[in-house]
Structure 1
């Protein structure tokens, strides 16, 4: 079952949704709208000499959406790079 990234046309929130089939219509978890734009997803790729797993450290405040720095959120913090 594919996991897709969407942006809500109504409130602008970015989110991921599991889409089980062509009849499955995702909705925005913030406002409930179905007017969504599918985003281009780029899979993570391993680099030579790197260890498997996330390359960014876990953010200290994921419940609040991150520390507010650009690229922060979703459980990873860009400020710790």
Structure 2
């Protein structure tokens, strides 16, 4: 089903710092993979993982996207657009 990708897209995509590398996260699937491979525990890590795993409806996808962004901010890895890297 080709319509699945846009429904899981993060709008706008988020840029995260992974050590010295910048990573663009553009979907909930990519957010889940990043979070599972980078288990930083500031913020509600377990709740964010559950939201990403169960985001099927539009409202759930928005909530999961926000939870991922807040988790990234809490862990100091979110690179805000327009700010120096």
Which structure shows the bigger proportion of residues in strand conformation? 2
Q: TM-score, normalization: structure 1? A: 0.22
Where relative contact order (Cα < 8 A, 6+ residues apart) is larger, the structure is 2
Q: TM-score, normalization: structure 2? A: 0.22
Which structure shows the bigger proportion of residues in helix conformation? 2
Q: Quick check: which has more Rg, 1 or 2?
A: 1
